[in-house]
Amino acid sequence: MRKPLLIANWKMNQSKKELDSYVRSFSKPLASFVNITQDISIVFAVPFTMLESMQHCVEQFGLKVIAQNVHHKVSGAYTGEISALMLKELGIWGTIVGHSERRQYFGETDALVVEKANLCLTHNLVPVICIGESLQERQNGQTQTVIYNQMSALLDGVTDLTKIVIAYEPVWAIGTGLAATADQAQEVHAQIRSMLQQKGGSSLADNCSILYGGSMKASNTKELMSKPDIDGGLVGGASLIPEEFAQMVREIIN
Ligand code: PGA
């Protein structure tokens, strides 16, 4: 039904000249798996400047490449921005939208995230839409409300919910080494799936991939992935180490 999906989010890291060696180190431990992409989708969200080169490096393995951000207008006087059309021109699969670092440092709101997602959909790019509560919100017992509000904005505003990926990333777990427990993550994933069910029935809820993100690594992959509503991961720090990221793939398909 839902194939596992593992996305590396490199953020503002790595270098173009090391892509080849990264991909070699990543694919080597996976060489014994024939047709790996039948069992799992593996995606790299790399900086804009590396998109094309990374695509060249990974296409022979059937792996996909996405961007980490996109502007909410299709073209115009927006110095320094990248549009969905430009991304589409590269032939990439999609882009992350509304990562908590974008929301936190660049003031992205739910409304803007919906605009970006819709522009992606218009141009056949898959938006990987991030939601999640802050530490303070969790401590105040507001997790469910925060998720409800963020999801409601998506459910009301996104034009085609069948073509999105949702990533639940508790902000307190990102880059802290303190991942959510599998039970904590499952609780929120179940809430997300039930909201999808209410909006679009089983065909929407059963087919939407909901990823977990936040200090996910090889050692906690199996437990997180054992939960019924966790379909994969959005992985920051651990994806920078090719052997570690390959191990996460093994944990999922083994
Ligand atoms: P992390 O980042 O795995 O380093 O916590 C995840 C993310 O921000 O997508």
pLDDT digits (tens, 9 = 90+) for 126-166: 999 999 999 999 999 999 999 999 999 999 999 999 999 99
Q: Does any ligand 1 atom lie closer than 6 A to the CB of residue 62?
A: no
What is the mean pLDDT of the segment spanning 110-135?
Answer: 98
Atom of ligand 1 nearest to the CA of 175: 5
Q: Which residue of 46, 105, 129, 174 sits with most ligand 1 atoms within 8 Å of its CB, as the best mutation to test the pocket?
A: 174
Cα–Cα separations (whole angstroms), residue 31 to 50, 61, 109, 221, 249: 24, 10, 42, 20, 12
Q: Does any ligand 1 atom lie closer than 6 A to the CB of residue 237?
A: yes
Cα–Cα separations (whole angstroms), residue 216 to 37, 70, 211, 254: 21, 25, 11, 17
The helix (H) or strand (E) run that includes residue 249 is helix 242-253
Burial class (CB in 10 A: 0-12, 13-18, 19+), 89: exposed
Point out the residues that are catalytic: 99, 169
43 and 5 Cβ atoms separated by less than 8 Å: yes
Q: Does any ligand 1 atom lie closer than 6 A to the CB of residue 132?
A: no
Residue reference for tokens 């409300």:
145
| Nearest of 213, 207, 214, 97 to residue 157 by alpha carbon | 97
167 and 101 Cβ atoms separated by less than 8 Å: no
Per-residue confidence (pLDDT) for residue 1, from 0 to 100? 74
What is the mean pLDDT of the segment spanning 243-249?
Answer: 97
Measured CA to CA, the distance from residue 254 to residue 241 in angstroms comes to 20
Q: Does any ligand 1 atom lie closer than 6 A to the CB of residue 175?
A: yes
CA of 172 to the centre of ligand 1 (A): 10
Confidence of residue 118 (pLDDT cuts 50, 70, 90): very high
Sign of CA dihedral 60, 236, 31, 126: negative
**If you take atom 3 of ligand 1, which residue's CA is the nearest one?**
236
CA torsion angle for 126, 249, 31, 24 (degrees, to 10)?
70
Measured CA to CA, the distance from residue 151 to residue 199 in angstroms comes to 11
CA of 77 to the centre of ligand 1 (A): 32
Confidence of residue 85 (pLDDT cuts 50, 70, 90): very high
Atom of ligand 1 nearest to the CA of 237: 4
Summarised one tens digit per residue, pLDDT across range 59-80 is 989 999 999 999 999 999 999 9
Whether the per-residue pLDDT at 34 is higher than 80: the answer is no
